[in-house]
Amino acid sequence: MARELLPHDLRAAASWAASLLRARLERPRAERRTLVIKRAAGSSRHDGDGGLFDEVRQYLATRIDPHSMRRLCLSGGVSGARRVLSMEHGDSMTDVFEGVEFTWASVAGEGRGGALSESLELSFDAEHTDKALGSYVPFITASVEEERRQDRALRIYMNEGSHWQGINHHHPATFDTLAMNPELKQSVVADLERFLKRRDYYRRIGKAWQRGYLLYGPPGTGKSSLVAAMANYLRFNLYDLDLSKVRGNTVLQRLLNTMTNRSILVIEDIDCCFTSASREVGKDQVGDAVTDDDSEEESIPDHWGTPQPQQHNITLSGLLNFIDGLWSTSGEERIIVFTTNYKDRLDPALLRPGRMDMHVYMGYCGWEAFKTLARNYFLINDHPLFPEIQALLSAVEVTPAEVSEMLLRSEDDDAALQGVATFLGEKKQAIGEGN
Ligand SMILES: Nc1ncnc2c1ncn2[C@@H]1O[C@H](COP(=O)(O)OP(=O)(O)OP(=O)(O)O)[C@@H](O)[C@H]1O
């Protein structure tokens, strides 16, 4: 009808105006950029050593939507390796990061000598180039690193001569099962979290990326359990250093040098490792890590009955300087933990501000700690005996180890809790009688 009613010139003008308007309203096609990530030459599809290519493939496996892909590759699963879903060559998928769409394509071609050349191609609008390189790719590698950390089987190493002997570490302690003051527990977790995130910060201020914790408190309050919980939380290996077996400077140096990154060095009962004589020597020999004196003294029990091993060939200040010196130039992500039943017996060198980053007191079993134990053993949050036990706990000093032992005595929660109440009641009575 318009053709018949409107003159030709008018129709042409209207069509030109309409196309002009359309061009104005339509967004111009954004310029695209493509980042090509090639599989490293020589790596096979299953060996996982293809560098960034494999990291991206592992990341995409967590983002792929199996319902939206017509064809998918499934690989891995050999000798315990995890199964990985991936795109078929020629397919593509979209991932959204911080509100921006990133498209991944799986590309295969013929490489040098006719070998298969594979790559993953990331394309995005040119305006997001900085985000792709500065945020998205680092986010991918960090996510994969975290996933690998979680998957890793942990090891605990003990020193034998100048070498570490390792076995798998299956200690079940976690921060959830650890009975301790909830605020203190939270502050330890927050401190570990901060430590993990601060790689760049440590680099910038020129400090070795390490952190020191001093755990103190009576025997049986969970110091070793806390170390195990830290290792499980961080997915770090443990190196349990028995200083009494370390004979000399060279051996200590070799042991510390052969520790891997992402590990925790534990020295238990640090107060027993150095006699006052060796402390005096240490004061005179700051920086001189070790003397090679092999002599040993008699073992003297402490007032809790714990045997006190004597050890003379290393001085505390020497050891600390030695660790500082070595770790500041080699290795990253190291944690050192000292434990002691007697903080007051420690060499002031260890208590100096800045030496140990956090002092953690593992104390007697309080009410909150008891509730954690009851939850661990019987999956209960309440019980008619709880008020009585709460009142008794505030009147007597009992370790979580003692309470755990009482709770283990019966599989029936009523009987076990009655056992705890009776045990605490007897303790209270003994205090009243002055025993
Ligand atoms: N805080 C706690 N939370 C949970 N369980 C605990 C706790 N403290 C002790 N236990 C229980 O008691 C056992 C012994 O505790 P652990 O060895 O951790 O104490 P410790 O303070 O390191 O003792 P020691 O100073 O004698 O080495 C643990 O295996 C665990 O079953």
Per-residue pLDDT tens digits for 128-167: 999 999 999 999 999 998 888 777 789 999 999 889 999 9
Sign of CA dihedral 343, 345, 347, 353: positive
From the CB of 180, is ligand 1 less than 6 Å away?
yes
How far is CA 403 from each of CA 42, 47, 135, 167, 389, rounded to the nearest angstrom?
58, 49, 49, 29, 11
**What 3-state DSSP class applies to 78?**
helix
Task: Look at residue 25 and tell me whether its pLDDT is greater than 80.
Answer: no
Task: Look at residue 127 and tell me whether its pLDDT is greater than 80.
Answer: yes
What's the pLDDT at 299? Answer: 43
From the CB of 371, is ligand 1 less than 6 Å away?
no
Per-residue pLDDT tens digits for 57-90: 999 999 998 888 888 888 776 655 667 788 989 9
Q: How confident is the model at residue 56 (pLDDT cuts 50, 70, 90)?
A: very high
Task: Look at residue 296 and tell me whether its pLDDT is greater than 60.
Answer: no
Q: Regarding beta strands 334-340 and 263-267, do their DSSP bridges make them parallel or antiparallel, or are they unpaired? A: parallel
What's the pLDDT at 27? Answer: 61
From the CB of 220, is ligand 1 less than 6 Å away?
yes
What's the pLDDT at 290? Answer: 35
Q: What is the mean pLDDT of residues 179-196?
A: 94
The CA 102 to ligand 1 mean position distance, Å, reads: 50
The lowest-confidence range among 27-36, 168-177, 312-321 is 312-321
Q: Which letter does DSSP use for residue 33 in this model?
A: E
Closest residue (by CA) to atom 17 of ligand 1?
224
Which is more confident, 15 or 131?
131
What's the pLDDT at 284? Answer: 36
Per-residue pLDDT tens digits for 418-431: 999 999 999 999 88
The whole-angstrom separation of Cα 230 and Cα 233 is: 5
The whole-angstrom separation of Cα 238 and Cα 213 is: 14
Closest residue (by CA) to atom 11 of ligand 1?
401
The whole-angstrom separation of Cα 226 and Cα 174 is: 8
Number of the ligand 1 atom closest to the C-alpha atom of 225: 18
Q: What is the mean pLDDT of residues 402-416?
A: 96
Sign of CA dihedral 86, 88, 93, 98: positive
From the CB of 179, is ligand 1 less than 6 Å away?
yes
The whole-angstrom separation of Cα 243 and Cα 246 is: 5
Question: What's the ipTM?
Answer: 0.97
What's the pLDDT at 85? Answer: 86
The whole-angstrom separation of Cα 105 and Cα 124 is: 11
Q: What is the mean pLDDT of residues 225-233?
A: 95
Q: List, as one string, the DSSP characters of 319-353.
A: HHHHHHHHHHHS-SSEEEEEEES-GGGS-HHHHST
- Smallest Cα–Cα separation from 188: which of 360, 372, 363, 370? 360
Closest residue (by CA) to atom 29 of ligand 1?
225
The CA 171 to ligand 1 mean position distance, Å, reads: 12
Number of the ligand 1 atom closest to the C-alpha atom of 306: 26
The CA 152 to ligand 1 mean position distance, Å, reads: 25
Q: How confident is the model at residue 287 (pLDDT cuts 50, 70, 90)?
A: very low
Q: What is the mean pLDDT of residues 328-351?
A: 83
Number of the ligand 1 atom closest to the C-alpha atom of 179: 3
The CA 399 to ligand 1 mean position distance, Å, reads: 8
Closest residue (by CA) to atom 7 of ligand 1?
222
What's the pLDDT at 354? Answer: 74
What's the pLDDT at 257? Answer: 84
Start-to-end C-alpha separation, the chain: 112
Tokens standing for 229? 């919980």
Instruction: With residue 123 as reference, give the H or E element that holds it.
Output: strand 116-125
Number of the ligand 1 atom closest to the C-alpha atom of 215: 21
The lowest-confidence range among 120-134, 182-196, 215-229, 291-305 is 291-305
With the most atoms of ligand 1 within 8 angstroms of its CB, the residue from 176, 221, 242 to mutate is 221
Task: Look at residue 414 and tell me whether its pLDDT is greater than 80.
Answer: yes
The whole-angstrom separation of Cα 125 and Cα 429 is: 76
- Smallest Cα–Cα separation from 263: which of 226, 234, 229? 234
How far is CA 236 from each of CA 152, 176, 221, 223, rounded to the nearest angstrom?
9, 18, 22, 17
Domains and CATH numbers, the chain: 32-39+49-151 (no CATH), 156-275+311-361 (3.40.50.300), 367-433 (no CATH)
Q: How confident is the model at residue 328 (pLDDT cuts 50, 70, 90)?
A: low
From the CB of 226, is ligand 1 less than 6 Å away?
no
Q: How confident is the model at residue 297 (pLDDT cuts 50, 70, 90)?
A: very low
Q: How confident is the model at residue 313 (pLDDT cuts 50, 70, 90)?
A: low
Q: Which one-letter amino acid corresponds to residue 339?
A: T
| Average pLDDT of the residues of the chain | 82
As beta bridge partners, residue 81 has none
